[in-house]
Structure 1
Amino acid sequence: MLYRTTVDVDAPAAAVWAIVRDVETWPSWTPTMSTVELQDSAFEPGATVRVSQPGRKPDVYTVLAVDDRRFLWAARKTGFRQWADHRVEGLGRDRCRVELAFGIDGTLGPVVGPLSRRTVVRFVDTEAAALKARAEG
């Protein structure tokens, strides 16, 4: 299962990226996050992040990749892996495009993915809209 959405934001890419990368502040601007706790000293590949979301058990994500406009993290579960990709692309001096993607793969992915799809779509779309509001507000 893969769900991907994009949103254009009327704000500089660097400013939006600063919001996206500061994962521990997400609960202050998106209702899809209860707590986000970096478990390591730096947000870099290999770091772990404990994520609690409303109505769900906490997950521990491992940061797989980070650069100046993108990060990817994943959480392993029994029989499947869930992952999220976050990208910010500049569209000019004061405008950018944000792409958020969430996937579920692995042996049980074909079962878990369809069962989770409605929640995934709702959460990812909410996060995109909340990020846009935060960055433009």
Structure 2
Amino acid sequence: MRFEHAVTIQASAERVWAVFSDVERWPEWTPTVESVERLDEGPLRPGSRTRIRQPKLPVAVWEVTRLEEGQYFEWTSTAPGIRTTGGHRVTSTPEGTVATATIVQEGPLGWLFGKLYAGLTRRYIATETEKLKELAER
């Protein structure tokens, strides 16, 4: 199951990327994240791991699987029967910077989890991109 939300932000791609990729500060600007704990040091890179607590969801450890500096990072979290991939893209356009958040749930239980949590997932990624917009445009 796939969920996606995009928003156009009137800020530079560099500014949007700086906020979007600074995962440790997410709890400061989005109510969808209670706490973030980096499990390694330094900037995000493939293999980096982060523990995230979100309201109404189990605590999850996310591992960066792909990084295109300044443009995109992807990370995955696994639990028995499900693999969740989160994508975070920043794209410059003539209208502004587009920030896109995606969640993809796969595996034998991915469809079930996706179906049960569809409304919550849609609200969370919409809230995250809208709050990103508010902060980046300040």
With the length of structure 2 as denominator, give the TM-score of the two structures.
0.94
Match of 1:56 in 2: 57
Where structure 2 has 5 or more consecutive residues not aligned to the other structure, the ranges are none
SS in 2 for 1:129: helix
SS of equivalent residue, structure 1 residue 71: strand
**Does 1:134 find its partner at 2:135?**
yes
Match for residue 23 of structure 1?
23
- Displacement after TM superposition at 1:40 (Å): 0.8
- Where does residue 38 of structure 1 map in the other structure? 38
Shift of 1:36: 1.1
Distance (Å, rounded) in 2 between the aligned partners of 1:31 and 1:88: 21
Please give the TM-score of this superposition, normalised by the length of structure 1.
0.95
Alignment match, 1:99: 100
Question: Would you identify which runs of 4 or more consecutive aligned residues in structure 1 move more than 2 Å?
Answer: none
Q: Percent identity?
A: 33
Instruction: Give the distance between the partners of 2:104 and 2:88, measured in 1 at CA.
Output: 12
Gaps of 5+ in 1: none
Equivalent in the alignment of 2:8: 8
Letter in 1 for 2:20: V
Read off the aligned partner of 1:31 and give its amino acid letter. Answer: P
Q: What secondary structure sits across from 1:76 in the alignment?
A: strand
Amino acid at match of 2:19: I
The amino acid of 1:73's aligned partner reads W
* Residue deviations 1:72-112 (CA, integer Å, cap 9, x gap): 001001001111100000124x9211111011101111211
CA RMSD of aligned residues (A): 1.2
Evaluate the alpha carbon distance shift between residue 58 and residue 20 of structure 1 in structure 2; reply closer, same or farther with a 3 A threshold.
Answer: same
Q: CA deviation at 1:56?
A: 2.4
- Work out the CA distance in 2 between the residues paired with 1:81 and 1:55: 18
Structure 2 equivalent of residue 109 of structure 1: 110
Report how many residues are paired.
136
